[in-house]
Amino acid sequence: MAKAIMIQGAGSNVGKSMVVAGIARALANRGLTVRPYKPQNMSNNAAVTEDGGEIGRAQALQALAARVAPHTDMNPVLLKPETDTGAQVIVQGKRFATLRARDYAKAKPELLRPALESFARLCAAADIVVIEGAGSPAEVNLRKGDIANMGFAEAAGVPVILLGDIDRGGVIAQIVGTQAILPENDGARIKGFAINKFRGDVRLFDEGLTIIAERTGWPSLGVLPWFADAWRLPAEDVMDIASTKGGGFKIAVPRLGRIANFDDLDPLAAEPGVSVEIIEPGRALPGDADMVLIPGSKSTIADLAHFRAQGWDIDLQAHVRRGGHVLGICGGYQMLGREIADPEGIEGAPETVAGLGLLDVVTVMKPQKRLALSRATYLPNGAPVEGYEIHLGETTGPDCARAWLDLSGRAEGASSPDGQVRGCYLHGLFSSDAFRAAYLSGLGAEVQVAYSDELDAVLDRLAAHIETHFDLDLLLRLAQQPTYCNS
């Protein structure tokens, strides 16, 4: 019977996802069968799994760290925000409903059952399941019906490690204050604490560890120094997308309001010869960009309006007139066409809007979502491409006759007659080294990185970081057989 342990945060964005990935790789390196798990996640940066569903990108990375294939059981409830007050709810990989925040709160008790079912299946196939919480258990106003932190820990019967972030300051208050505000039963589930993101000599915090341990009665699992290669790991949270300064080939990426599946940027940012510049709202698209990449979107029509509101449509026309290249992926591809029609009101009110007009194609939104892991061929030189499709809508038009990808005999993508503007539905394609080299070198960029090998090497360095600074032996002693899986 598997053991399990849950890593919860003393706040949001304390580094739980990265720490769980590092623990997963470190334990896998010790010969254990590891499964990552997050009962509830909120992200528009989803990954497609082999069983035909979608999960949060962080859980896909954690699966890679554990050296197993991503599965929908690893993230049974995924919230994909569509508006400021509503989100699409994905349950065990499939769309369940689109709910407003207050309606989701009512639905959470119903979602605990599939979350526990998925957890039990993972337990049956592992030596240890490493669970990631969401946000913080200190948000006690959200405790009723909770399935993300202590509500899940109680239902599954698992112990908790509390992770604090010293980089934002006040970490002693983060940890001690969490214990002070938690109900007694929830506080009793916490068996230890750890500190993340320390800069400098960790021995300088020895007194801080003593203070926390004396006030809480919890043992310390260690202080993790700042992991310098963290930026090389795929980001899940939109707020973690950052510009990377590399070589002279500049790719400008407008930050859309509902940007989704932006993992296409990670392999580009890893190239030393490439600079990726994230363009924030209110800034113009830079005139010296070699390529503008318009990424995916959870709400294409709304993001197209956002794009125009920044004046980026005018900037993009000027970029093309200067001879610059444009690539749109998924929602970005749809925006580049002549029009987008949503006759059934899938994204909001039924409407048809004009696109950016850089590709002679039209998109019609349809309710059936395409979810698939895909293998393709880059038609200009035959380079193999691997990626995934995750989209609503069908795109057709004259420029589709200039498809530049072949997906198992199906033409994919569109290109303008001069080849400056391209679009496609295939996400993750730049992770394929041969394709990335062919595509970028064709535009004059220098390509050096073997991305998959480099990502695996970063995970090994992260595991070594965890082994050095985190008490894994204590974690294994604190891990327990979940009462739910043992009942």
Q: Which residues are catalytic?
A: 330, 427
CA distance 191 to 6: 10
Count the neighbouring beta carbons within 10 Å of the beta carbon of residue 368. Answer: 8
264-277 exposure pattern, b = at least 16 Cβ within 10 A, e = fewer: bbbbbbbbebbbbb
What is the DSSP code (8-state) at residue 426?
Answer: -
Beta bridge partners of 3: 128
- 312-321 vs 300-309: helix crossing angle, rounded to 10: 80
3-state SS class at 346 = coil
Task: Tell me if 98 sits within 8 A of 88, measured CB to CB.
Answer: yes
Strand order in the sheet with 220-225: 34-37, 128-132, 3-9, 160-165, 190-198, 220-225
Roughly what angle, to the nearest 10 degrees, separates helices 57-66 and 16-29? 20
CA gap 92, 127 in Å, rounded: 22
- Plot region of 53 (φ>0 → left; ψ -120 to 50 → alpha; else → beta): beta
Q: Which residues does 427 contact at the CB level (< 8 Å), separation at least 6?
A: 261, 263, 264, 296, 329, 330, 387, 388, 389, 390
